[in-house]
Amino acid sequence: MEKNIAVIKGDGIGPEIVTEAMKVLDKVGEKFGHKFNYEQLLMGGCSIDVNGVPLTEETIEKCKASDAVLMGSIGGDTTTSPWYKLPADKRPEAGLLGIRKALGLFANLRPCVLFKQLSGACPLKEEISRKGFDMLIMRELTGGLYFGKRYTEEKNGVMTAVDTLEYNENEIRRIAKKAFDVAMQRRKKVTSVDKANVLDSSRLWRKVVEEVAKDYPEVALEHMLVDNSAMQLVKDPAQFDVMVTENMFGDILSDEASMITGSIGMLASASMNETSFGLYEPSGGSAPDIAGQNKANPIATILSAAMMLRYSFKMEKEADAVENAINSALDAGYRTGDIMSDGMTLVSCSEMGDKIAEFI
Ligand code: IPM
Ligand code: MG
C-alpha cells in the first residue's frame, strides 16, 4: 500500500523524536512492502518564526488531504521564549488547538500501559505496580473549557477572567460511543469521569453516557468523580480499562497516568475524527530543556506511529511488529535517560530509534 503522511515535527524535541518514528515506519515499509510518503509541514513555534502565525491554512489543507498526520510536539519555555510575549491566540498552543478543531479531532485516545520491563521506573509501591495496568484514556478534545468563550475584563475596577465549560449532548454522545466501541475491543469496562456533584456539564455528561451505555449491554459502566479518579489512579490503576472524560479532566488525568507508566516519554496518543483519519502524537510536551541534545525518549512517538498503522491504515500486523520491536529493545536493556535504571544500557534518542528499527 502507499500512504501519504503529513508530518509536523514542531518544536523542542519534536524534530528528534519524529525523525526516529519515520525511521521505524520506513523499516516497516521495507519489510511489509508499503510506501510511506511524507510531507513536512510547519505548526507551532516554528510556524510563528516563518509565517508569523502558529497555524496556516496551507498546513490545515495539506493535513486534510493526507491519509494521516504524524506530529512531534509544539511550544517552548513559557518564561523565556519570545513566542509567549505574543497574544494568547498567536502562541504555539493556539496552533495545536486550531488544528484539532479544524480537523474535527474530537476523540483523543491515550493508552497507558506499564511495560513489564519498566516496572522499576514506576513511582508506585511494588505491591501496586506488581499487578501491572493497561488502560486507555478517551479524552474529549474539541469542547469544554478549551474551546468555550473566554475573556479578561475589568469589572468594577477589579480584573476578572472568565472561561466557560460548555458541552452539548451531541458532543458527549459521540465521544461516549467511541469509548464504548473501544471497550468492546478490550476488557469491556468503561469508567466515565465527571464532577457531577458540582457541575451542570457533568450532570448532562452522566445522563448521555448512560443513554449510550444501553446500546452496549456487554460493557460494564461505572461513574467516578474526577477527584476520586485522580486518587484511584495511584491507588489501584489496574481497576481501569477505558476511562472516558471531558477535555480538561482528560488533560490532567492523562499526565498523571503517564507518570505511573514510568515516564511521559512512553505515552502515545491518537486524535481521531468520526472516520479513521487521525493525528498521532506523543502525549508529552516539547521538553525545551533537553531539545537538540539527542536525549529524548522517542518511544511515545514510535508507539503513536504504531497507532497510526493500526487505526488509520488498518495495518494490524505492521502495528504489532512495531510494538514487539519496542518490547525487544526494552528486553535487550536499552534505555533513554528518563527510563534508565541500574544495569541497563543508556542510549540516545537516535540510538533507541536504530535499535527499534533493527528489531522490526
Ligand atoms: C496535551 C497538551 C496540550 C493540551 C497543550 C500543549 C495545549 O498538554 O496534548 O495534553 O492541553 O491539550
Ligand atoms: Mg496535556
**Contact present, 233 and 252 (Cβ < 8 Å):** no
**Contact present, 265 and 280 (Cβ < 8 Å):** no
Alpha-carbon span 1 to 29, nearest angstrom: 9
CA dihedral of 315, 320, 326, 328, whole degrees rounded to 10: -140
Substitution site in 81, 108, 145, 251 for ligand 1 pocket (most atoms within 8 Å of beta carbon): 251
Alpha carbon of 280 to ligand 1 centroid (Å)? 13
194 lines ligand 1 (CB under 6 A): no
**Contact present, 359 and 324 (Cβ < 8 Å):** yes
Closest ligand, as measured to the CA of 92: 1
Alpha-carbon span 231 to 73, nearest angstrom: 28
Q: Which of 195, 280, 338, 355 is catalytic?
A: 195
Rounded to 5°, angle at Cα 353 from 350 and 359? 145
Nearest Cα residue to atom 12 of ligand 1:
251
**Contact present, 344 and 350 (Cβ < 8 Å):** no
The pLDDT value recorded for residue 18 is 98
H-only helix segments in the chain: 14-32, 45-51, 57-64, 92-102, 126-129, 169-184, 200-213, 226-235, 247-260, 299-307, 316-331, 349-358
Alpha-carbon span 112 to 131, nearest angstrom: 14
The answer to whether 227 is a known catalytic residue is yes
123-260 belongs to which homologous superfamily?
Isopropylmalate Dehydrogenase (3.40.718.10)
Atom of ligand 1 nearest to the CA of 251: 10
Residue with cell 519496542: 326
The pLDDT value recorded for residue 264 is 87
The answer to whether 251 is a known catalytic residue is yes
Alpha carbon of 342 to ligand 1 centroid (Å)? 32
Alpha-carbon span 151 to 221, nearest angstrom: 37
Q: What does the pLDDT profile of the chain (360 residues) look like in tens digits? A: 999 999 999 999 999 999 999 999 999 999 999 999 999 999 999 999 999 999 999 999 999 999 999 999 999 999 999 999 999 999 999 999 999 999 999 999 999 999 888 988 899 999 999 889 999 999 999 999 999 999 999 999 999 999 999 999 999 999 999 999 999 999 999 999 999 999 999 999 999 999 999 999 999 999 999 999 999 999 999 999 999 999 999 999 999 998 899 888 999 999 999 999 999 999 889 999 999 999 999 999 999 999 999 999 999 999 999 999 999 999 999 999 999 999 999 999 999 999 999 999
- DSSP-assigned letters across all residues of 256-292: HHHHHTT-GGG---EEE-SSS-EEE--SS---GGGTT
- 1-111+264-360 adopts what CATH topology? Isopropylmalate Dehydrogenase (3.40.718)
Q: Which of 194, 251, 338, 354 is catalytic?
A: 251
Q: What DSSP character marks residue 298?
A: -
Q: Around 155, how many Cα atoms within 13 Å sit in the side-chain half-sphere?
A: 6
The pLDDT value recorded for residue 277 is 97
The pLDDT value recorded for residue 242 is 98
Burial class (CB in 10 A: 0-12, 13-18, 19+), 33: exposed
Whole-angstrom CA distances from 83 to 4, 73, 279, 288 are 31, 15, 24, 13
318 lines ligand 1 (CB under 6 A): no
**Could you count the other beta carbons within 10 Å of the beta carbon of residue 247?**
24
The pLDDT value recorded for residue 116 is 87
281 lines ligand 1 (CB under 6 A): no
Domain ranges of the chain: 1-111+264-360, 123-260
Q: What share of the chain is helix, strand, coil (3-state, %, to 5)?
A: 50, 20, 30
Q: Which residues are CB-contacts of 140 (< 8 A; sequence separation ≥ 6)?
A: 106, 107, 108, 167, 171, 172, 175, 244, 245, 246, 247, 250
Alpha carbon of 247 to ligand 1 centroid (Å)? 10
Whether 1-111+264-360 shares its CATH topology with 123-260 is answered: yes
